[in-house]
Amino acid sequence: MTSNAAHTSSDAVAFADRIGELLTTMRSAEAELGALLVDIEQRGVMELFGYRSAARLLEHVGDVPKPAAERLVKRARLVNPGRNLDGSPIPALAPATGAAALAGRLSNPMIDVITDVLAQVPPVHCSSAEANLLTFAEEAGHKQVAALGARILAHLVPDGTAPDDIEPVAPARELFLRRKRTGVWELSGRFDDETGTRASALLDALAERRNGDEGPDFRTTPQRYGDAFSDAVDLALNSPDLPMQAGERAHVMVAVSLEDLKSGVGKATLGDTGEMSAAEARVHACDAMIIPAVLGANSEPLNLGRLRRLISAGLRRALFLRDRGCAFPGCHRPPRHCQGHHIRHWADGGPTDLTNLVLMCAHHHRLLHRSGWEVRIAADGRPEFLPPVFIDRRRLPRRNNLHETLPFAA
C-alpha cells in the first residue's frame, strides 16, 4: 500500500469514527427528548403548557413539522412506560429498546422495526423476541432486523389467506427488446394490470436499497430498478423449469483470451455481437450461467466451460444447504438468487469444490471482485468475510446469520 493510500485509509477510518460518535449523540438526545415528552404528556400538557398534545408542543417549541413531531411522540410512547388515569403504571411495549435508544445505539428506523414486530407478537413471547431482535441489531441494519422480525412473526403468529380461485381473463401482452449499435439495449412493452402488478411486486422486492455491511446504497431509483431487472433475468436463468434451447438450457457464451481472463484487463465477446470487459467476464466465469470459452494467443479454444464441469447440480445443492443464501453479512437473498463464487478463481487453478466456493448474490459477488472485502472458509467449514480497513480497522471476520434457524422455540 502506498503512503498516499494509507493516508486516505486512515482519514476514512477517522471520519467514520466521528460520524458514529455524532450519530450516537443525536440518537441519544432524541430518545431523551421523547421520554421527556411522554412524561410531560402524562403530567398534563394542557395544564403545563396549554397545548392539546405533546406533539403540538414540540411542533411549536422546536419548529418541527407536525408529522415528524407526531412520529417522535408515538415512538416514545412505545419504548417508555406510561400511567393510567388512576396513576397505575402502564409498562412500555419495548422497554429494553427504550434503554438502548437512550444509549444512542439505535436509529429511528431500527426502533420502528422492533416495535412494529413486538406489537404483533403474543405478550408471552414479547420479552424473548425483543432480546433476540436487539442482539441481532448490534451487527445488522434495520432491513435485516425486519427480515428476522418477519421470520419471528411467521413462527409465532402463523396465518394466511385463502387462495383466490377466480380464473383471470386471457390478457393481452407485448414486449419489445432491441439492441442499439452502442451495445445498449432498450426495453418497452404493454401489459395487462395483473402482469404489471406482478412485475412491479417482483421488481420492488429486488430493488430494495442494499444497506448491508458494505455501506449505504446511493443508487438512484431508476438504477435500482435496472439492477432489479438484471437480477430477475438471473433468477429466471437459474430456474430448473426454463425451457431447453437446441437440447441445452438457455445460456450465454463469453469468449475471452486466457491472458485477459487471468489479468482482468481487456475485452471479451459476449454472445454473438456483444462486448464486456475481461474483469466482468472473470466475475461471470466463477459461476455457470455464462459459459466461458477461453482462447489462446491464436484464438484457439483452450477450455470450453460446461455447466456440469464448473459447478455440478450436486455441488450446487451442497452449497445451498451450507450457506442457505447469499453468505455476505447482512444479505437476505435466498439461494435461488445466488451464484457460486470461487474463492480462489478457477482461472488461477482454484478447485471447484465446497472448500473453494461460497454462495453470493450478483451484487455482492461483484462487490467482492472490486472492493477490499475478502472471503475465506473458516475452521468450521463456514464462509466468513473480512471487511476493508475503513469499515473495521481490525478487520474482524463477519458472517451472515440471517439464514440461521430461529434463536428460540415457540
Average per-residue pLDDT for the chain = 78
238-272 confidence digits (pLDDT tens): 666 655 444 444 445 555 555 555 555 556 555 44
Phi, psi of 403 (to 5 degrees): -90, 5
* Domain ranges, ordered by start, for the chain: 3-156, 190-237, 242-308, 311-386
With a cut of 90, say whether residue 34 has pLDDT above it.
yes
Strands (E), 185-333: 185-190, 244-245, 248-249, 252-257, 267-270, 274-277, 290-295, 301-304
C-alpha distances out from residue 229 to 200, 232, 306, 334, 369, Å: 10, 5, 26, 17, 21
Q: What is the pLDDT of residue 277?
A: 64
350-362 confidence digits (pLDDT tens): 787 888 889 988 8
Q: Which of 370, 316, 373, 306 is nearest to 339 (CA)?
A: 316
Q: What is the pLDDT of residue 230?
A: 82
Q: What is the pLDDT of residue 261?
A: 55
Q: What is the pLDDT of residue 376?
A: 94
The model's pTM is: 0.49
Q: What is the pLDDT of residue 133?
A: 96
With a cut of 80, say whether residue 377 has pLDDT above it.
yes
Share of the chain above pLDDT 70, in %: 72
Confidence of residue 120 (pLDDT cuts 50, 70, 90): very high
Q: What is the pLDDT of residue 363?
A: 81
Q: What is the pLDDT of residue 289?
A: 47
**How many whole angstroms separate alpha carbon 259 and alpha carbon 383?**
29
178-191 confidence digits (pLDDT tens): 777 777 878 888 88
Confidence of residue 213 (pLDDT cuts 50, 70, 90): low
61-103 confidence digits (pLDDT tens): 999 999 999 999 999 999 999 887 677 888 999 999 999 999 9
Confidence of residue 217 (pLDDT cuts 50, 70, 90): confident
The residues, ordered by sequence, that sit 6+ positions from 327 with a Cβ below 8 Å of its Cβ are 358, 359, 360, 375, 383, 385, 399, 400
Q: How many residues does the chain have?
A: 410
Confidence of residue 6 (pLDDT cuts 50, 70, 90): low
Q: What is the pLDDT of residue 319?
A: 85
Confidence of residue 116 (pLDDT cuts 50, 70, 90): very high
Task: Determine contact, residues 233/227, Cβ cutoff 8 Å.
Answer: no
Averaged pLDDT, 359-386: 86
The residues, ordered by sequence, that sit 6+ positions from 347 with a Cβ below 8 Å of its Cβ are 258, 261, 262, 282, 285, 294
With a cut of 50, say whether residue 305 has pLDDT above it.
no
Averaged pLDDT, 159-174: 57
Q: What is the pLDDT of residue 73?
A: 95
Kindly state the greatest CA–CA separation across the chain: 90
Confidence of residue 303 (pLDDT cuts 50, 70, 90): very low
Compute how many other C-beta atoms are within 10 angstroms of the C-beta atom of residue 59.
18
Q: What is the pLDDT of residue 169?
A: 55
Computed on alpha carbons and rounded to an integer, the radius of gyration of the chain in Å comes to: 26
**How many whole angstroms separate alpha carbon 205 and alpha carbon 364?**
17
**How many whole angstroms separate alpha carbon 311 and alpha carbon 303?**
15
Q: What is the pLDDT of residue 165?
A: 53
Higher per-residue pLDDT: 219 or 152: 152
